[in-house]
Structure 1
Amino acid sequence: MTDIRRRQLIQSLGAAATLGALGSHPAWAQAAKGDIVIGASQPITGIFSFAGTDMHYGLNDFIAWKNSTGGVAGRKLRYVYEDSGFKLDQGVAIFKKIMAAEKPSFFYGDSTQWAKAVAQDAIASNSILTSSTSLASSMADPVNMPQHFVPGPIYGAMHEILMEYIARTSQGAANKPKIAYVYADTEFGRDGIPAGKARAEKLGLPIVTEIVTKQAGIDVGPEVAKLRRARPDIVIFQGYILAPIPEFVRQMREAGLNSQVMGTAWGLNKPAYDALGAMGESLTGVAPYRYGHETDSPTINTMREFTAKNRPDMKHISMFYVSAWLSGMVFAEVAERCIKANKPLTLPNMKAALESMKDWDSGGVTGLLVDLSKHQIPSGRMYRYDPVKKAMEPASGWIKA
């Protein structure tokens, strides 16, 4: 896409967002008929399959549930997906194939890299709104990524929430808690760290060391030695879903470190807290949504009821499942707002509808009303592992970044 064409598209999107009353147009009559198609490139196999299967189930199950309640303004949602194997070239090919064959209005992808790779084609199509499991800061960009939204707080927001929580819970202490960052040398690992450090500095919280590791195959011994010298009160992990966190914690304890272990989002999922719980350790961190076992959310309750009936072998509703279901909810809400305003499902109209969702009720998936005007949900809640319940339980109220 040329720079001129890109500027024209972005200008048209901005103009659409400023329009007030919505009129009608004869060409829209056909757009008001037929199924609303949601495409997806899901990592059902491959290295991310443990999450990808839940993402697929979450989006599929929301669509099935939504259709059972009447669909969107009387129209059915239709889910078209293929397995990406968490391979970028395969995910991009799936996007192009489904776009050509099915003309979807919405598309769910498997990664930050996927969203970036298809961005220009998605914008040029002028007909698609995308989302994914990614919480990367670069994904919430209404100007350069006008077609995309993040179904939760970006990592920068979560690290700000972490620092706010640490500051609040340490009020009155003789000394501010010393904090160490341990993160992977990947986009996932580095994301959010600058925002967290900036908020820590503002709050007077000392960051005493930063440790950057490879994503896998790590000898944690030398890194634990660095932590022992710094003697942090809190160690925040970023960029890992499980390994090498348990081994870090094991060696930290052997080295005499009693540092509290913290993390964000995907690092707070069942594999992580089960592994640490089995070691007699705890885990604290900021989650973007309520957990699947909580009962004070009508939407979470609906998920449990649906899976109990339709997926009896699913004993645990993961955060990946919740995230994909929530993305489906946003897709449906955007479609409904456009249809009720008698506007076609074009990118400018869908972007305007998305950005009008400033006080949207997610049914308690998030504890605050959802504000998607900046293409992310800028709130989260602190949770701590409860060894008796063997689950993550709330450790704070909902905090807006």
Structure 2
Amino acid sequence: MTKKKIVGLFAGFMLLLGLAACGDEEKSDGGAAEDGVRTVTVGGLYDITGGTGDVGTPYAEGEQAFFKHLEATGGFEGIEIKQIGEDYAYAIPEAQKIYQALRDKNKASAILGWGTGDTEALRQQVANDKLPYVSASYSENLKDLKESPYNFLVAASYSDQGRAILKWIKDNHEGGEPTVALLYNDTAFGRSPIEDIKDYAAEIGIDVVDEQVIDVQATEAQSQLLNMEKKNPDYAIIQQTWGATATILRDAKTLNIDTQFIGLNWASGEGVIDIVGEDIADGYMAILSHAFPYEDFPGIADIKEYLDKEGKTLDDIDQKFIQGWSASKIVAAGIEAASKLTDGEITGEQIRAGLESLSDYDMGGLGANVSFSADNHAGTEQTRLGVVKNGRWEQLTDYFSYKE
């Protein structure tokens, strides 16, 4: 077991202890305290112990760390932000239960969510309750403001990521018309971009020759890969998290399959390399939606400052931590903007308006800059591609849109 894995397991255990403590906090009054400081509670839905806990744990740590750092560095004048969350173990009924508690007991004014299934299941409640919801799901469905008026996407949608990959393939493939297979799990998350990817492939002249469904927690995928191999695709696009992605790469190596595998954002990150080793991971490509700790971007400085105070270093975190930190950063920017719209209680409606006021919001390189408006809650179509070389992810492209 690698050092990073051991650190990750310990961090997950400590995070669960922290979540248990959070559940006992007194509910927020949601308004102005006696000293004139206005309190805003941000709720959190985490997957620590469920099917996507491999990436969900560091993401939740990053979300929480941002608010801890914000408080330690003075926060926003006249505003106290409380962040309270709980592990729902990737179970939609549990997510609904926790959401209702965050709304009713804790008086949350905004929510940091997680999965596609629960985010889509909750979007009507979120709209009725007028609570801005920033999820770790980048489902294309959440772009529909009629269905999702309080949901905000803070990175390129899964569909836009898939389109970007296809655009890159079309522009860079040599030797005839490229062929593509799709590997995904049978969840709302796994299925989310598949039809859009197929539609865009047909639009630009790429043939999708095969689809294989592989469980999100799969430890074996040889049968699916052997079926895929019969179609001999040049490329295979993966919509999974670390565990199943590692299974695919390992078994493809065992079977001597020479297809170029390219993952969407949850199929990228250090965890894939940690599981399969750098020899198997070498040459694997994926969407890099957010920065890695070792990249030289201005936004890393705040994270380093936080880690220094915690007695940690950048080696103790990964890209998914930065992804969670980035989501919290955007929610906090919306709260700060909302605070300027009123002298009284900062409500969910005002936070929505605050988020909608963000234009080309500077992420300091942690992710693509985002812009929202009353007519558009999809913050960006920009994403980038990377490749594993010598045990480390390297940027292959700058941020770009498939429309460019």
What is the TM-score when the length of structure 1 is the normalising length?
0.82
Q: 1:392 to 1:356 in 2, by over 3 A?
A: same
The correspondence of residues 135-214 of structure 1 with structure 2, limited to 5 A, is 135-170=138-173, 173-214=174-215
Q: 1:150 to 1:280 in 2, by over 3 A?
A: closer
1:318 is matched with 318
Q: Does 1:119 align with 2:123?
A: yes
- Report how far residue 85 of structure 1 moved: 3.3
Q: Distance in 1 between matches of 2:189 and 2:76?
A: 35
Deviations 1:191-243 (A, max 9, x none): 21222222222322232222234445576344333333222221211234322
- Report how far residue 250 of structure 1 moved: 4.4
1:300 is matched with 300
Q: 1:158 to 1:76 in 2, by over 3 A?
A: same
Q: Distance in 1 between matches of 2:171 and 2:147?
A: 35
Q: 1:212 to 1:55 in 2, by over 3 A?
A: closer
Contact 2:54 2:241 in 1 (8 A): no
- Report how far residue 396 of structure 1 moved: 0.6
Deviations 1:267-302 (A, max 9, x none): 11222133152436421011211222211x222232
2:365 is matched with 364
1:105 is matched with 109
- Report how far residue 329 of structure 1 moved: 1.3
Helix, strand or coil at the partner of 1:103: coil
Q: 1:235 to 1:355 in 2, by over 3 A?
A: same
Q: Distance in 1 between matches of 2:48 and 2:250?
A: 32
Contact 2:338 2:351 in 1 (8 A): yes
Contact 2:117 2:189 in 1 (8 A): no
1:85 is matched with 89
Q: 1:314 to 1:206 in 2, by over 3 A?
A: same
Contact 2:357 2:372 in 1 (8 A): yes
Deviations 1:231-259 (A, max 9, x none): 2221211234322x444444444555321
Helix, strand or coil at the partner of 2:42: strand
Unaligned runs of 5+ in 1: 1-27
Q: Distance in 2 between matches of 1:113 and 1:234?
A: 27
1:96 is matched with 100
Q: Distance in 2 between matches of 1:230 and 1:362?
A: 41
2:377 is matched with 375
Structure 1 residue aligned with 2:388, among 382, 385, 388? 385
Q: 1:78 to 1:357 in 2, by over 3 A?
A: same
- Report how far residue 129 of structure 1 moved: 1.3
1:397 is matched with 398
2:20 is matched with none
Contact 1:292 1:316 in 2 (8 A): no
Q: Distance in 2 between matches of 1:61 and 1:77?
A: 13
Rg bigger for which structure? 1
Deviations 1:56-114 (A, max 9, x none): 32122111222233322431211222333333333322222232233221112232233
1:355 is matched with 356
- Report how far residue 33 of structure 1 moved: 4.0
Q: Distance in 1 between matches of 2:58 and 2:284?
A: 23
The correspondence of residues 251-330 of structure 1 with structure 2, limited to 5 A, is 251-253=251-253, 255-274=255-274, 275=276, 277-279=278-280, 281-295=282-296, 297-310=297-310, 312=312, 315-330=315-330
1:68 is matched with 72
Q: 1:201 to 1:45 in 2, by over 3 A?
A: closer
Helix, strand or coil at the partner of 1:81: strand
Q: 1:311 to 1:203 in 2, by over 3 A?
A: farther
Unaligned runs of 5+ in 2: 1-29
- AA at the equivalent of 1:272: V
Q: Distance in 2 between matches of 1:49 and 1:214?
A: 14
- AA at the equivalent of 1:166: I
Q: Does 1:38 align with 2:42?
A: yes
Q: 1:316 to 1:140 in 2, by over 3 A?
A: farther
2:56 is matched with 52
- AA at the equivalent of 2:312: P
Q: 1:364 to 1:313 in 2, by over 3 A?
A: closer
Q: What is the total number of aligned residue pairs between the two structures?
A: 366
Deviations 1:169-192 (A, max 9, x none): 23xx34133222222222222221
Contact 1:178 1:208 in 2 (8 A): yes
CA RMSD of aligned residues (A): 2.7
- Report how far residue 145 of structure 1 moved: 1.3
1:337 is matched with 337
Q: How high is the sequence identity, in percent, across the aligned residues? A: 21
Contact 2:293 2:315 in 1 (8 A): no
- AA at the equivalent of 1:334: G
Q: Distance in 1 between matches of 2:250 and 2:331?
A: 43
